Amino acid sequence: MLTLQDVLAARERIRGIVGVTPCPLSEPFSELCGARIHFKLENLHRTGSFKERGAANKFALLTPEERKRGVVAASAGNHAQAVAFNAQRLGVQATIVMPETAPLSKVQATRKFGAAIVLCGNNYDDAYAEARRLQEEKGYVFIHAFDDDAIIAGQGTCALEILEQVPDVEVLVASIGGGGWLGGMALAMKSLKPSVRVLGVESSHLPKMRAALDAGGPIVIPNATTLADGIAVKRAGERTIPLFRKYVDEIVGVDDEEVANAILALIEREKTVAEGAGAAPAAALLQHKIGGLGPATNVVCAISGGNIDPNLIARIIERGLVVEGRRVMVAVRVPDRPGMLAGVLATVAAERANVLEVHHNRAFLQGAIGDTEIDLTLETRGPDHIEALIGALKAKGYAVVRR
């Protein structure tokens, strides 16, 4: 098993190569979560995630012969970029196998670092199998995303920074993929400050670490799609499970709806862009899934990455606005006569709602042929505003249904 000395040595190797990320106190999230929440902003690395740490340490340990052979890796995106970036920095040939479902933004970013991209399969495990095949066929050095001592030690350097930036930290919360990220940090954190509670957050759709700990070893769990694609692996690592048993106090799960809400809250309240995996710890805090916190408890929440597709952000924002009552669709049934739309819109305007879209439904409407249904997408100020708006429309005699 790794030791603190491995993490300390990794820090010296990557010093000057990997930047120190900030760890500020968030007043908005502290109010929302009922504790002093500090965000360790690993999304601010050159490649947008903590993966630079492990990759830089791994490349520093490669022999000249290994560098000459070239490297291969499997990744949904973040490890891919970290490996490609460090390979380009050192003039090493890199081949990255990514799932066909990998976000386009991550594929393009990896390609920009000069790596050869192979798209294979629907998930990380499919990409992993192809990368291993290429390793055997081409003689490449395989760089594992999480189940590698050098990778784990590199990730653990983040905890050393946290202890310097927030020396009175009491709780550390971070996401769980294969376990290398939190495993390395938990080792460093507990070795230097055993009193810190270390909590891991994984997608409730793919609870691979909980399954591994319950089974006494890594097992393959059924595949599932999740918004937190960066931690969407079906099997925990062999090397990471002992670290979790020894150093991680608790594991909680979050679903995609909770992650989406956290992404939106981070954008709106913290002005921070996080991908699904990066926002998972914030989701656990926002949903109050971590007990034992008080107003004075110092919590460090690690935002592991920010590589998220802009189209996905747009969908999350739109859905989040609906959940918060800031966007609504209503169907108003009226006689199909001139001036009826104007009357409806006048009522909407009087209630100070903003019209985003208008659609008439005639052909598919059940009931009297002389009626039409006006579908309105509206910008509103919250649930109370929506209720007041619907009430005003009904008071005018309109039949209204909220979609």
Sign of torsion, CA 214 216 217 222? Answer: negative
Segment 307-323 shows an average pLDDT of: 89
Residue 275, token pair as written in the block: 């991908």
CB 42 within 8 A of CB 303: yes
pLDDT (tens digit per residue) in 213-255: 999 999 999 988 888 888 888 899 999 999 999 999 999 999 9
Rounded to 10°, the helix 149-165/4-14 angle is 80
304 is catalytic: yes
Domain range summary for the chain, segments of one domain joined by +: 4-49+148-318, 51-142, 325-402
Provide the CA 359 distance to its chain's centre, in angstroms.
35
* Cβ atoms of residues 243 and 251 within 8 Å: no
| pLDDT at position 362 | 81
Does the structure show a pLDDT above 90 at 104?
no
* Residue 153 neighbours by CB under 8 Å, 6+ apart: 2, 6, 7, 9, 10, 54, 57, 184
Same fold, 51-142 and 325-402: no
Sign of CA dihedral 2, 179, 304, 62: positive
pTM: predicted TM-score of the whole model, two decimal places: 0.90
What is the C-alpha separation between 38 and 57, in angstroms, rounded?
26
- Would residue 204 show up in a list of annotated catalytic residues for this protein? no
Q: Domain 4-49+148-318 adopts which CATH fold?
A: Rossmann fold (3.40.50)
Cβ distance 284 to 290 under 8 Å? yes
Class of the CATH domain delimited by 325-402: alpha beta
Residue 368 has pLDDT above 90, yes or no: no
Catalytic residue among 40, 51, 106, 234: 51
Instruction: Please name the residue that has the structure tokens 């390395």.
Output: 184
At 101, which amino acid appears?
Answer: T
CATH class, 51-142 region:
alpha beta
